[in-house]
A and B are shown apart, each in its own frame.
Chain A
Amino acid sequence: MTSSELAVKCRQLVKTYDTGDQKITALQGIDLDIHLGELMMLVGPSGCGKTTLISVIAGILDQDSGQCDVFGVDWLHLSSKDKLLFRAQNIGFVFQAYNLLPTLTAAENVAVPLIINGMKRQLAVRKAAELLEKVGLAKRAESLPSQLSGGQQQRVAIARSLVHNPRLIVCDEPTSALDHQTGIHVIELLKSVAVASDRALIIVTHDARIFDYADRIAKMDDGRIDSVAVVTQHSQFNKEVENVT
């Protein structure tokens, strides 16, 4: 695989948090490649640096040193304005707590990335409604998040992460707040609608139930990537990961 087919290339990524009394090194020289068309899962115990890593990859947190290229663009070489623009156009987010705006309807929530990218609201909401149909929520377009179940909210969040056709989707624990059945539905939906040859998905998860859906799984511990496994070997890997998490 050539570097032009890489969605994300991390080299020697280091990130340290200064908590006043002490310095905590969250990332200790991460090397990681994520390819286009790939669904990569990041697993590992709490505090191992998974969230810090996806924050750096998504461009919402600056690394202290090392390189993080997303589609060939190094975040550190972008100005704040260009970084915002790049993020708005190329990154989609799915969060554990959904993070839907509670006063907007489902369709309006899905339309937010399009509005941020400058599309007129009416047109954006129309496009959002079409996408909601794709995730099976056509009839709930006018519902507020509080009127939706957890699974439905996460489906709205998935639609929101896809509506502006981003090339990288970053998901943080997308299934951990959901029951088993709903979690499976959500990951199946994510895999069916989000995985594409020109796009990459990174999912941070503790949820061993969904490991089978990954193309590769990177196991992190103590700010480092311990191993990266292709999921055809998942039986053995699952056991290892379950032990870790």
Chain B
Amino acid sequence: MNYIALKMLMGDRGKYLGIVMGLTFASLIMTQQPAIFVGLMARSFSFISDVGLPDIWVMDPKVQFVDDIKPLQDTELYRVRGVEGVDWAMPLYKGMIKARLYDGTFQTCNVTGLDDTTLIGGPPVMLKGKLEDLRRSDGVIVDIDGARDKLAKKPTVNGGKPVPLDVGDTLELNDRRAVVVGIAKNTRTFQSQPIIYTTYSRAMLYAPRERKLLSFVLVKAKPGEDIARLVQRIRDTTGLAAYTQDEFKALTVNYFLKNTGIPINFGISVLLGFIVGAAIAGQTFYNFTLENLRQFGVLKAMGTSNWVLLRMILLQAVLVGSIGYGMGVGLTALFGYAMRNTILAFKFPWQLLVFSATGVTLIVAFAALISIRKVIKLEPAVVFKG
């Protein structure tokens, strides 16, 4: 009977494709839009991920997310270093500084100042030069996206492409000379400004004069130290905010979730996708069953039980659901692959597969349920009606 169920389903290609396309669309929307959303949210904490090495981030208690800089006094660094269980604690500067470009225009840049000695907090991938080159006079490292785009030099010929900033080129940061000694690859952040790395002491020179300039203290726990307890100890001892990497990421994401319309916008897209997908697939599947009601009646008259008919409909539903889901997820994966080198945010964790599988299952289950109800209530005597 399974064979008959499948032939009934696939024999009418137009309707079969209609159901599969509806589910593909629903599955696509339910994975692609959330994947962009997750990608965007991940960008909000990509700086924390890129820094990577420290166990704990220490900052002003009023900080709400990673780009919400509320500087500390330099002396806080020493207080953190004095907390029991701290293996090392390094300063990190993060701030916006205007760079004067070749052609005299200005571009605001996201400047990160790394501990002069250890250079902890540097970029994850160096494309040109070495991290240690930061120790050279006036050395800065620029991220590749910034170098190619906002910091790029004017085209050499009219109508040509801008020339990417390269090792050896110079900039002016707050009227001070900065020489590009390396090009790095960063994870894209939520902000579009170019990222410039330099040493902490040089960042202090570039940054506008302020009484406090220390953005974060990066802390590594001693081997075997309980991180959660150390976090609490730092908070208790210094009165500062201290978070593990994951806690700081969560703080940042939660800020964006609560204070921006991004989740609502994407939520609406996903909901619309679900509703439209459910409407198309559910309606088409239900219509398909209605149109085949007489065939089901014939099978019933010939001695097919309700249980077998139910299995046939479930098989049809599971098949179109699986194919639609697979195609939707596949298209999303292709989309992500095609967009991997673009500015578009995209992250496709396994949880999204579960989410969309649940959504498609709900649609298919609903469509199958109303169809099954119709078939079970069907009087086999309907076959004798003209």
A85 near B299 (CB under 8 angstroms)?
no
Asked whether any CB of chain B lies closer than 8 Å to the CB of A24, the reply is: no
Q: In angstroms, how far is the closest chain B Cβ from the Cβ of A81?
A: 7
A51 and B12 within 8 A (CB): no
Please report the C-alpha to C-alpha distance between residue A60 and residue B302 in the assembled complex, in whole angstroms. 9
**What are the residues of chain B within 8 A of A127 when measuring CB–CB?**
none
- Residues of A94-126 at the interface with B, using a CB-CB cut-off of 8 Å, are 95-97, 99, 101-104, 108, 112-113, 115-117, 121
- A64: min CB distance to chain B, Å: 14
Binary contact readout A72-108 vs B (1 if CB under 8 angstroms, 0 otherwise): 0000000001001101110101011101011110001
Residues of B within 8 A of A14 (CB): none
Tell yes or no: B271 within 8 A of A by CB: no
With CB as the reference atom, state the residue of chain B lying closest to A118. Answer: B1
Q: How far is the CA of A96 from the CA of B386 in the complex (A)?
A: 7
A65 is an interface residue with CB less than 8 A from chain B: no
Contacts A85-B303, A88-B303, A113-B302 given; does A103 touch B8 at CB 8 Å: yes
Query: For B337, what are the chain A residues with a Cβ–Cβ distance below 8 Å?
Result: none
Expressed in whole angstroms, the Cα–Cα distance for A123 and B379 within the complex equals 30
Residues of A within 8 A of B174 (CB): none
A61 interfacial contact with B, CB 8 Å: yes
Q: Roughly how many angstroms separate A13 CA and B244 CA in the complex, as a whole number?
A: 83
Q: Is the CB of A99 within 8 A of B303?
A: no
A108 and B7 contact, CB distance less than 8 A = yes
Q: Residues of A contacting B43 with CB < 8 Å?
A: none
Q: Could you tell me if B301 and A101 are in contact, using CB atoms closer than 8 angstroms?
A: no
For B384, give its contact among A103, A115, A172 (CB under 8 Å): A172
B contacts with A, residue count (CB < 8 A):
25
If A93-B383, A101-B4, A115-B1 touch, whether A88 touches B295 (CB-CB below 8 Å) is no
Asked whether B301 lies within 8 Å of A93 as measured between CB atoms, the reply is: yes
Q: Is B381 an interface residue (CB 8 A)?
A: yes
* Chain B CB within 8 A of A55 CB: yes
Q: Are A60 and B4 in contact (CB under 8 A)?
A: no
Residue B10 CB within 8 A of the other chain? yes
Inter-subunit contact A101/B302 (CB<8 Å): no
Q: How far is the CB of B320 from chain A (nearest CB, A)?
A: 15
Q: How far is the CA of A51 from the CA of B379 in the complex (A)?
A: 14
B383 with A116: CB separation less than 8 A: no
Least CB separation from A88: chain B residue: B303
Q: Are B298 and A99 in contact (CB under 8 A)?
A: yes
Across-interface contacts of B300 in A (CB, < 8 A): 60
Q: In this assembly, does B39 line the interface, its C-beta being within 8 Å of a C-beta of chain A?
A: no
B384 to A: closest C-beta gap in Å = 5
* B239 interfacial by beta-carbon distance below 8 Å: no
Contact B11 A117 (CB under 8 A): no
Task: Indicate which residue in B8, B11, B302, B380 contacts A116 across the interface (CB closer than 8 Å).
Answer: B302
Contact residue among B7, B10, B383 (Cβ-Cβ distance under 8 Å from A99):
B383
**CB neighbours of A108 from chain B (8 A):** 4, 7
Instruction: Output the nearest chain B residue to A50 by Cβ-Cβ distance.
Output: B384
List residues of chain A with CB within 8 A of the CB of B298.
Answer: 93, 95, 99, 101
CA separation between A87 and B302, bound complex, in Å? 6
A54 to B299, CA, bound (A): 17
List, in ascending order, chain B residues with CB within 8 A of A70's CB.
none
Cβ contacts under 8 Å, B350 to chain A:
none
B220 interface residue per 8 A CB criterion: no
- Smallest Cβ-Cβ distance to A83: which chain B residue: B303
Task: Give Cα A101 to B384, complex, Å.
Answer: 15
Write out the residue numbers on chain B whose beta carbons fall within 8 Å of the beta carbon of A89: 303
Known: A55-B381, A112-B4, A115-B1. A93 touches B11 (CB 8 A): no
Distance (whole angstroms) from the CB of A110 to the closest CB of chain B: 12
Say yes or no for A58: interface residue by CB 8 A criterion.
Answer: yes
Interface centre among B1, B8, B383, B384 (most CB of A within 10 A): B384
Contacts known (A61-B379, A101-B8); A93 close to B303, Cβ less than 8 A: no
User: Is A55 touching B302 in the complex (CB atoms < 8 A)?
Assistant: no
Chain A residues within an 8 Å CB radius of B1: 115-116
Digit string of B1-32 for contact with A (CB within 8 Å is 1, else 0)?
10110011011100000000000000000000
Docked complex Cα distance between A103 and B7 (Å): 6
> Is B232 interfacial (CB-CB < 8 Å)?
no
A residues near B237, Cβ cutoff 8 Å:
none
Question: Using Cβ atoms and an 8 Å threshold, which residues of chain A touch B305?
Answer: 81, 84
Q: How far is the CA of A113 from the CA of B381 in the complex (A)?
A: 17
Collect the chain B residues with CB atoms within 8 Å of residue A87's CB: 301-303
3 closest A-B pairs by beta carbon, nearest first, are A103-B11, A88-B303, A60-B380
Listed by A's residue number, 14 A-B pairs whose Cβ atoms lie within 8 Å are: A54-B384, A61-B381, A87-B301, A87-B303, A88-B303, A95-B298, A101-B7, A103-B11, A104-B11, A108-B7, A113-B302, A115-B3, A116-B299, A172-B384
Write the residues of chain A forming the contact surface with B, with a CB cutoff of 8 angstroms.
51, 54-55, 58, 60-61, 81, 84-85, 87-89, 91, 93, 95-97, 99, 101-104, 108, 112-113, 115-117, 121, 172
Given A60-B300, A95-B384, 12 other A-B residues pairs in contact with their CB atoms under 8 A: A54-B384, A60-B380, A60-B383, A88-B304, A93-B383, A101-B7, A101-B295, A103-B12, A108-B7, A113-B303, A115-B1, A115-B4
